[in-house]
């Protein structure tokens, strides 16, 4: 394995680890994430890592000075907002029953998209609890996460994020030695990392 490939591998492993930690999926997560601030630390670390990628992308477009720093700071908060957005809305993917009473900021957007995309693909209006709805909700979340460094191509990153959950869903009820949600949370962010590396490879 060359040095470059090793760096990419470590980078993706870091995304996987932090993704699972942000979802409090590791066996030790609940032991130290004992308050709201500590629970946010893995999410903040992920957002900072992604903001660093956004910073490099902005530099590739010759931005500098206050514009560069201001956009990087804004990117951090957009990344954080995406990471913190409502994961519960697509937990049905994991065969968990979602709380149908809860709401989230983008629920109307996700409802609208799922209703129409479901009809186009399956002649069935997808609603919360359907796997198709989960795909749409996860893609919207992933799009927000990827927006600062990929702009109009962010929906592709959103699909990368959603595919990570699809991979994780196949481990549900098939493994018993550890929490299968580790795979979903970890792979979704690892795929975001892979998409980010692809974007960087196109620009740097």
So what's the pLDDT on residue 165? 86
Neighbours of 66 (CB within 10 A): 8
Residue range 67-124, pLDDT digits in tens: 999 999 999 999 999 998 877 777 666 565 666 667 788 888 999 999 999 999 988 8
- How far is residue 2's CA from residue 66's CA, in Å, rounded to a whole number? 37
- How far is residue 64's CA from residue 45's CA, in Å, rounded to a whole number? 24
- Classify the C-alpha dihedral 130-132-135-138 as positive or negative: negative
pTM comes to: 0.90
Give residue 134's domain range: 3-203
Give the Å distances, CA to CA, from 118 to 31, 96, 115, 154.
Answer: 40, 21, 6, 21
Total count of domains within the chain: 1
């Amino acid at each position: 394995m060359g040095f470059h490939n090793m760096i990419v591998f470590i980078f993706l492993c870091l995304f996987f680890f932090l993704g699972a930690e942000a979802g409090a999926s590791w066996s030790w997560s609940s032991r130290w994430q004992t308050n709201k601030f500590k629970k946010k630390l893995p999410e903040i670390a992920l957002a900072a890592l992604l903001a660093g990628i956004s910073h490099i992308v902005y530099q590739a477009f010759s931005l500098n000075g206050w514009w560069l720093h201001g956009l990087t700071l804004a990117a951090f908060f957009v990344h954080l907002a995406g990471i913190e957005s409502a994961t519960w809305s697509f937990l049905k993917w994991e065969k968990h029953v979602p709380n149908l009473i809860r709401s989230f900021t983008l629920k109307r957007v996700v409802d609208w998209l799922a209703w129409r995309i479901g009809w186009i693909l399956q002649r069935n209006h997808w609603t919360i609890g359907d796997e198709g709805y989960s795909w749409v909700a996860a893609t919207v979340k992933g799009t927000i996460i990827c927006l600062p460094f990929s702009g109009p191509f962010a929906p592709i990153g959103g699909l990368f994020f959603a595919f990570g959950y699809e991979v994780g869903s196949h481990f549900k009820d098939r493994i018993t030695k550890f929490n299968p949600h580790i795979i979903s949370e970890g792979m979704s962010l690892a795929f975001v990392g892979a998409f980010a590396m692809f974007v960087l490879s196109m620009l740097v």
